[in-house]
């Protein structure tokens, strides 16, 4: 869209920096201060300021950013700052990013506004159980209380800095060794000693382990004037809490007894609405519930329960893995919708073009997996054979579980794309598929 993009990222060769070279845009090539990417942490206030000076609109692709610095920039630069001197906009608003980056506060905010979520409780530190040589002991009574209330398995989650399931722990029982293992995993000793460490009482929360039949996600774009557009509901397949595969659109669950597709409905479901429509409506309502500053695209993760009801899992205030399929399968991708929204342009209506689409994440399974993907007998060759779209991100290092790229297939039917995904997964190491 010929919109120059300047990127702040700690890595000199970050994928986004590779994809965009702002200084080559004619309007900026000849100026004395050409646009330049910024190398620095998402939490570095000075770097955020440096970025803000170069732009008219500032947005995020990750929620783990310095919200206080973004707020300052948004306030100080609202009318006179930024590249043009006419002020900058920060979308989504820093306060909304702040709510989302604390997963417990996010749940409190949404539940208060009537968005259905799995029951949850904060895990607080009991000061009477504190001992200087065993600070984790102070959390045990609160964990056991949540276990008593919700039963086991119990989902324990870090409130902050979670991604790809890092920060989740499924607690199997109330046995002291299980509880200890959970706390040690979620509150590592190294995080206790730092002077800037968060108080123990703000670290964790517990959720009922939701026995969902499917995981569902909907991408929603919301403009500054409050209009929303929803992409189709999709099915996301997670393994070890990491998204592996996405199928679009979501197909209603099949009754295991007779193999016939059934349209399930929750108690409050409106008669005549499909689960896809309800998921889209719920996702749009959840984004509206964030408030006026909810501008941009948002990934809304949900659980589809056996009775057909939908529970919201979490919101990502940015383009999302479950929306990568939109690049090939929709008239406008999640990224283009994000641009329209944050640039205050009218939001394009969404159309899903093929009968079916699916996306397979290329997760690192070893330090060399990145090169293995490209082998003549590797997954990229298989994708070429299937006519699939290949996206390799150009990340510098490959680690186990790291998202290194993805492949999108389009097909004539859900069965067709499932067959293609199975063929791709078969080329990857056995434990992958």
Contact residues: ligand ATP, CB under 6 A: 118, 155, 157, 162-168, 207, 209-210, 215, 238, 241, 301, 313-314
Q: In the complex, what is the shortest distance from the CB of residue 323 to ligand ATP, in angstroms, rounded to a whole number? A: 12
What whole-number distance in Å separates Cα of residue 296 and Cα of residue 338? 5
- Contact indicator for 191, 139 with CB cutoff of 8 Å: no
Nearer to ligand ATP, 47 or 214 (CB): 214
Identity of the residue, 106 or 337, whose beta carbon is nearer to ligand ATP in the bound complex: 106
Residue with tokens 């996600």: 217
User: Of the two residues 164 and 281, which places its CB atom closer to ligand ATP in the complex?
Assistant: 164
**Contact present, 186 and 262 (Cβ < 8 Å):** no
Residue 238 binding result from Mg ion, ligand ATP, none, given CB thresholds of 5 to 8 Å by partner type: ligand ATP
Query: Tokens in use for 429?
Result: 């190491």
User: Which of Mg ion, ligand ATP, none is residue 164 near (CB under 5 to 8 Å by kind)?
Assistant: ligand ATP
Q: CB–CB of 239/164 below 8 Å?
A: no
Q: For the CB of residue 164, give the shortest distance to Mg ion in the complex, in Å.
A: 8
Nearer to ligand ATP, 210 or 386 (CB): 210
Footprint of Mg ion on 355-414 (CB under 5 A): none
Choose one: 93-101, 215-223, 301-309, 358-366; the region binding Mg ion (CB under 5 A).
301-309
Shortest Cβ 212–Mg ion spacing (Å) = 13
**Any long-range contacts for 227-230 (C-beta under 8 Å, 24+ apart)?**
227/347, 228/284, 228/287, 228/288, 228/347, 229/337, 229/347, 229/348, 229/349, 229/350, 230/280, 230/281, 230/283, 230/284, 230/350
**CB-CB neighbours of 368 under 10 Å:** 10
Residue with tokens 């996405």: 246
Nearest residue (CB) to ligand ATP, 148 versus 292: 148
Among ligand ATP, Mg ion, none, the one that 137 touches (CB under a kind-dependent 5 to 8 A) is none
- Nearest residue (CB) to Mg ion, 315 versus 421: 315
Q: Which does 168 bind (CB under 5 to 8 A by kind): ligand ATP, Mg ion, none?
A: ligand ATP
Closest approach of Cβ 301 to Mg ion, in Å? 5
Which listed option, Mg ion, ligand ATP, none, makes contact with residue 235 (CB within 5 to 8 Å by class)?
Answer: none
Q: Which is nearer to Mg ion, 44 or 301 (CB)?
A: 301
Q: Is 7 left (phi over 0), alpha (psi -120 to 50) or beta?
A: beta
272: left (phi over 0), alpha (psi -120 to 50) or beta: left
> Shortest gap between Cβ of 300 and Mg ion (angstroms)?
10
Q: Give the single-character DSSP code of 163.
A: B
* Contact of residue 94 among Mg ion, ligand ATP, none (CB under 5-8 Å per partner type): none
CB of 314 to Mg ion, least distance (A): 5
Q: Which does 155 bind (CB under 5 to 8 A by kind): Mg ion, ligand ATP, none?
A: ligand ATP
The nearest distance, CB 254 to ligand ATP, in angstroms, is 20
Tell the smallest beta-carbon distance from residue 7 to ligand ATP (Å). Answer: 21
Tell me: cis bond preceding 153? Omega within 30 of 0 counts.
yes
Task: Map the footprint of Mg ion across residues 218-237, applying CB under 5 A.
Answer: none
Quick one: 169 or 365, whose CB is closer to ligand ATP? 169
Please choose, out of 6-14, 214-222, 314-322, 355-363, the segment that lies near Mg ion by the rule CB under 5 A. Answer: 314-322
What pairing do the DSSP bridges indicate for beta strands 403-411 and 356-363?
antiparallel
Q: Least distance to Mg ion from the beta carbon of 371, Å?
A: 29
Q: At what angle do helices 94-101 and 103-112 cross, to 10 degrees?
A: 110
Q: Which stretch binds Mg ion (CB under 5 A): 16-24, 138-146, 251-259, 300-308?
A: 300-308
Structure tokens at 167: 């920060």
Beta-bridge mates of residue 57: 89
CA distance 385 to 428: 15
| Nearest CB to ligand ATP, comparing residues 90 and 305 | 305
376 burial type by CB count under 10 A (0-12 exposed, 13-18 middle, 19+ buried): exposed
The CA distance from 356 to 332, in Å, is 16
Residue 234 C-beta: closest distance to ligand ATP, Å: 13
Asked, as a colleague might, if the bond just before 92 is cis with ω within 30 of 0, I would say yes
Q: Toward Mg ion, which CB reaches closer, 44 or 314?
A: 314
Residue with tokens 């990417």: 37
For residue 182, which phi and psi values (nearest 5 degrees)? -65, -50
Contact residues for Mg ion, defined by CB under 5 A: 301, 314
């Amino acid at each position: 869209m010929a919109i120059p993009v300047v990127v702040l990222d700690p890595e000199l060769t970050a994928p986004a920096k590779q994809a965009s070279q702002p200084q080559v845009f004619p309007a900026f090539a000849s100026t004395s201060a050409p646009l330049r990417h910024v190398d620095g942490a998402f939490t570095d206030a000075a770097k955020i300021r440096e970025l803000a000076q170069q732009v008219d609109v500032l947005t995020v692709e990750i929620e783990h950013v310095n919200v206080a610095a973004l707020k300052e920039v948004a306030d100080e630069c609202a009318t006179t700052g930024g590249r043009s001197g006419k002020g900058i906009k920060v979308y989504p608003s820093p306060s909304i990013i702040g709510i989302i980056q604390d997963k417990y506060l996010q749940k409190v905010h949404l539940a208060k506004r009537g968005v259905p979520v799995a029951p949850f409780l904060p895990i607080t530190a009991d000061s009477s159980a504190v001992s200087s040589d065993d600070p984790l002991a102070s959390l045990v009574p609160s964990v056991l209380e949540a276990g008593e209330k919700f039963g086991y398995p119990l989902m324990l989650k870090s409130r902050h800095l979670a991604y790809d399931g890092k920060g989740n722990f499924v607690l199997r029982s109330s046995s002291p060794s299980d509880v200890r293992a959970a706390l040690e995993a979620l509150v590592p000793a190294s995080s206790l000693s730092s002077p800037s460490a968060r108080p123990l009482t703000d670290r964790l929360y517990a959720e009922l382990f939701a026995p969902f039949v499917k995981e569902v996600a909907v991408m929603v774009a919301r403009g500054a004037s409050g209009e929303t557009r929803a992409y189709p509901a999709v099915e996301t397949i997670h393994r070890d809490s990491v998204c592996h595969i996405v199928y679009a659109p979501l197909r209603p669950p099949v009754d295991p007894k007779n193999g016939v597709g059934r349209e399930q409905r929750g108690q409050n479901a409106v008669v005549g609405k499909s689960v896809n429509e309800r998921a889209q409506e719920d996702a749009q309502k959840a984004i509206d519930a964030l408030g006026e500053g909810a501008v941009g695209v948002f990934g809304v993760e949900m659980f589809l329960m056996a009775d057909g009801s939908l529970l919201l899992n979490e919101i990502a205030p940015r383009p999302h893995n479950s929306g990568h399929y939109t690049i090939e399968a929709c008239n406008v991708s999640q990224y283009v919708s994000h641009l329209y929204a944050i640039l205050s342009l009218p939001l394009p209506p969404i159309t899903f073009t093929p009968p079916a689409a699916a996306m397979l994440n290329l997760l690192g399974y070893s330090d060399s997996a990145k090169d293995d993907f490209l082998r003549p007998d590797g997954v990229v060759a298989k994708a070429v054979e299937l006519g699939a779209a290949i996206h390799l991100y150009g990340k510098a290092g490959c680690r186990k579980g790291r998202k290194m790229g993805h492949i999108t297939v389009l097909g004539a039917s859900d069965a067709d794309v499932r067959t293609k995904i199975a063929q791709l997964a078969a080329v990857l190491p056995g434990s992958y598929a």
